[in-house]
Amino acid sequence: MATIEEVLAGLTKYHPSADTGLVMRAYELAAAKHEGQARASGEPYISHPLSVAMNVVELRLDDVSVAAALLHDVVEDTDIRLEELEAMFGKEVANLVDGVTKLSHLQFSSKEEMQAENFRKMMLAMSKDIRVVLVKLADRLHNMRTLGFKTGPSVERIARETMEIYAPLANRLGIYSVKSDLEDLAFRYLEPVAWADLTQKVERVRREHERFIELVKNMLGEELRAANIQGEIDGRMKHLVSIHRKMKAQNIPFEEVYDLVAFRALVDTVNECWHVLGVVHQLWKPIPGRFRDYIDLPKPNGYKSLHTAVMGPNGEPMEIQVRTWKMHEVAERGIAAHWSYKEGTKASAPEQERVRMLKELLDGIRELHKDSGDSKEFLASMKEDLFGDEVFVFTPKGDVKVFPRGATPLDFAYQIHSEVGNHCSGAKINGTMVPLSFPMHNGDIVQILTSANQKPSEDWLSLVHTGGAKAKIRSYLRHERREMSQEVGRAVLEKQLRRKGLSLKSLTKRGDLERVLTTLGIPNEEELLVRLGGGRLQPRDVLRAFMPELDEQTQPGEEPKDEGIFSELIRKITPGTSPGTVLVGGEGDIVTHFAHCCSPLPGDRIVGFVNRSRGISVHRATCPSVADVSRDRLVDVQWDKGTKGHRLVKIKVLCLDQAGMLAAMSNVFLRLGVNIVSANCQGNRDKGATNFFEVLVEDAEHLKRLQKALESTSGILSVERV
Ligand code: MN
């Protein structure tokens, strides 16, 4: 069991001016609070935080991280609250403990590869202070070392989580020492039989390989001294997992794995690295194709080294890595190396430090490999991982979901299932009700509320961020409009049939419907009604198909009265529906007609309501008849921007009853391009004249100009829209 004295000795060795008081106080509180608790091993609980602190010291992190490691379980497992920690140890320590506690709550529940990748990304994204992840790795390392004391199904879950989440995370952060240890420990519990077998075999050859290591060290050491290079040579058995993987990948037995040992030469400068490589290649025959230059082309996590493989003294292949001490530091401790306390430099704010360090790393690599596709890819993936425009959130069960930044609970609902989306009536984030437009943040736990009565509306399109959710809303709205068209189509057809003393039902019975569908080339009744309701098929054509003998006679319209001077201006135009100028719920394929009571003009504020027999009537929003209509019959309509129809409107003009008035008015109509459909002029007894005109104007704006022009004509008293 590690002791606090060992922790302090380790810390002050690389960080002489560390705040040992802080670390000591952290230890005392943890020891007092965990008093009486025991680990599965039977050891007092404090042995765990002490070991984690020791692991943190091995990564050579600062005093704050060591204090946080000692305290990492007190909020979770004792009665200490986070606020108390902050009061006693400061914000930095409290934030680290809080971060580690939060990461401990994440449980990896899905076996899917994607889930694992999301999880790793999420952990990085969530940890504003990368030291949180480092302390968490130190925690996991000790838990894995003591996993043998645990029993039950949690053992396999923890081991798998370690293999799929924590080891790759350590690798991503470049901390090879922790990565390899975690992998070997997880391997032991995931494949106990293979592990035991391999361990035995490695033990059997260990003595022999240790002699071999000594031989190689002596041979190379002598050559380096002769070349006047100061360096250290290191040889070790490879990790079990890498031997196991090699056997599986090449499908070979243990006996055929030759390079069980890896050698490392550590020197001061890059030049010396190349010098050592030369010496090695002089001494032993290099194996073609095995040389790698990771100094010029570092690995994505910053790893630098020269790798080569040669035919060794016994004619066996062996691997040698050559690097500087500084590169070695990064190789072993990765991102942790950047967190080392450096005497004489003041540590900057954690977030700034992390950004600066990454920027440095990225800049260095960008500089080295301006044209390399690899580095571009690396930059992209690094950016995605650490500064990504992605948000990681949780279902209440703890599954991770990834969204583009700015995505809302509605996106979340649609990602679960379109039905959940369509009936989404509200959302809770971290237990609090939020509007559906609320942007989600990293680590949020999102809960969706549904209601059978809820359905998507047009404005939902502006609440979602993902293409998938948009497509699903659009599809729903399209379907809904189709149903509405069908209903309208049925009503229109029934009405027309009723006039002839028929009904759709009777026609269907007689088999006439089938015949009509064939005649018109329409696949089924539903489609017939949809086309009718959508205005793509006229009721007249359907009737004709039903009863060719009853070919409808066109009713002659009422001839306009010949008013002499107006006759040449008056055109006979059928007022009414002009498809495509009004959008119902954003679409233009629904039958609408303009109410005669208020004759809406493009530009007027309008509303529509469903009229069982005639489709949708469009009224001006100010029309008194709208007030009487029940709310559920109202539909959202708007003018289709860009289309300018000629719309019929009635105006009343009061003028003096004098010669030339009609000529003056007709000039105004001509000048403004207004067609007159009908006119009714009569003199009054009091010498005034009242004129009613039905005119065709483009829109409300056009009408306004007409009114102004008429009003400014001398002799005209007033102009109003009827
Ligand atoms: Mn722990």
Q: Which residue has the higher pLDDT, 614 or 538?
A: 538
666 has a pLDDT exceeding 60 = yes
Flag the least confident range among 216-225, 598-607, 710-719. 598-607
| Helix (H), strand (E) counts: the chain | 28, 21
CA of 436 to the centre of ligand 1 (A): 37
d(CA 400, CA 108): 9
Q: What is residue 463's predicted lDDT score, i.e. its pLDDT?
A: 92
Q: What is residue 73's predicted lDDT score, i.e. its pLDDT?
A: 94
348 has a pLDDT exceeding 60 = no
pLDDT band of residue 555 (cuts 50, 70, 90) is: very low
Q: What is residue 485's predicted lDDT score, i.e. its pLDDT?
A: 80
Of 554, 564, 559, 489, nearest in space to 528 by CA: 489
pLDDT band of residue 300 (cuts 50, 70, 90) is: low
CA of 138 to the centre of ligand 1 (A): 9
Residue 234, φ and ψ in degrees, nearest 5:
-130, 135
CA of 24 to the centre of ligand 1 (A): 19
d(CA 304, CA 302): 6
Structure token pair of residue 433 = 């009700």
Q: Helix/strand/coil (H, E, C) string of 542-556?
A: HHHHHCHHHCCCCCC
CA of 320 to the centre of ligand 1 (A): 37
- Strand ranges, E, within 165-287: 232-237, 261-267, 285-286
Strands 261-267 and 317-324: parallel
- Strand ranges, E, within 407-453: 424-429, 432-434, 446-450
Whether the Cβ atoms of residue 300 and residue 173 lie closer than 8 Å to each other: no
72 has a pLDDT exceeding 50 = yes
Of 445, 446, 444, 318, nearest in space to 436 by CA: 446
pLDDT band of residue 558 (cuts 50, 70, 90) is: very low
Contacts of 314-320 with CB under 8 Å at 24 or more apart are 314/212, 316/258, 316/259, 317/258, 317/259, 317/287, 318/216, 318/258, 318/259, 318/261, 318/262, 318/263, 318/284, 319/259, 319/261, 319/262, 319/263, 319/290, 320/262, 320/263, 320/264, 320/265, 320/280
Q: What is residue 370's predicted lDDT score, i.e. its pLDDT?
A: 40
pLDDT band of residue 5 (cuts 50, 70, 90) is: very high
Q: Which residue has the higher pLDDT, 576 or 316?
A: 316
Q: What is the pLDDT of residues 569-590, one digit of tens each?
A: 443 333 343 434 677 766 665 6
CA of 139 to the centre of ligand 1 (A): 5
For residues 672-696, give the mean pLDDT.
Answer: 78
Cα-Cα end-to-end distance for the chain: 96
**SS3 category, 670:** helix
Distances (CA, A) of 283 to 276, 308, 310: 11, 13, 9
Q: Which residue has the higher pLDDT, 677 or 263?
A: 263
The model's pTM: 0.51
Helix (H) or strand (E) holding 26: helix 20-33
Average of per-residue pLDDT values in the chain: 79
How much of the chain is in helix, strand and coil states, percent to nearest 5? 50, 15, 30
Strands 615-620 and 606-611: antiparallel
Q: What is the pLDDT of residues 213-230, one digit of tens each?
A: 999 999 999 999 999 999
Alpha-helix runs per DSSP H in 297-389: 325-333, 350-368, 373-387
**SS3 category, 674:** coil
CA of 44 to the centre of ligand 1 (A): 13
**SS3 category, 83:** helix
Query: What are the beta bridge partners of residue 233?
Result: 265
Burial class of residue 107 in the structure, from the number of CB atoms within 10 Å of its CB (0-12 exposed, 13-18 middle, 19+ buried): exposed
559 has a pLDDT exceeding 60 = no
Alpha-helix runs per DSSP H in 449-569: 467-499, 504-510, 512-520, 525-533, 539-546
120 has a pLDDT exceeding 80 = no
Whether the Cβ atoms of residue 312 and residue 282 lie closer than 8 Å to each other: no
Neighbours of ion ligand 1 (CB under 5 A): 73, 139
CA of 37 to the centre of ligand 1 (A): 13
Strands 390-394 and 424-429: unpaired
CA of 29 to the centre of ligand 1 (A): 15
Q: What is residue 643's predicted lDDT score, i.e. its pLDDT?
A: 59
Which of the residues are catalytic?
76-77
Distances (CA, A) of 298 to 280, 334, 340, 344: 22, 12, 21, 29
CA of 11 to the centre of ligand 1 (A): 20
Q: Which amino acid is at 561?
A: K
176 has a pLDDT exceeding 90 = no
CA of 70 to the centre of ligand 1 (A): 9
Q: What is the pLDDT of residues 406-463, one digit of tens each?
A: 899 999 999 999 999 999 999 998 778 898 999 988 767 889 999 988 889 888 999 9
**SS3 category, 682:** strand
Residue given tokens 């029993």 in the structure block: 151
Distances (CA, A) of 405 to 393, 414, 464, 486: 11, 16, 11, 40
d(CA 686, CA 485): 53
CA of 104 to the centre of ligand 1 (A): 8
CA of 392 to the centre of ligand 1 (A): 24
Q: Which amino acid is at 494?
A: E
In this structure, the number of other CB atoms found within 10 A of the CB of residue 663 comes to: 9
For residues 495-505, give the mean pLDDT.
Answer: 78
Q: Which residue has the higher pLDDT, 634 or 351?
A: 634
CA of 349 to the centre of ligand 1 (A): 26
CA angle 538, 544, 546 (to 5 degrees): 110
For residues 508-516, give the mean pLDDT.
Answer: 79
CA of 78 to the centre of ligand 1 (A): 13
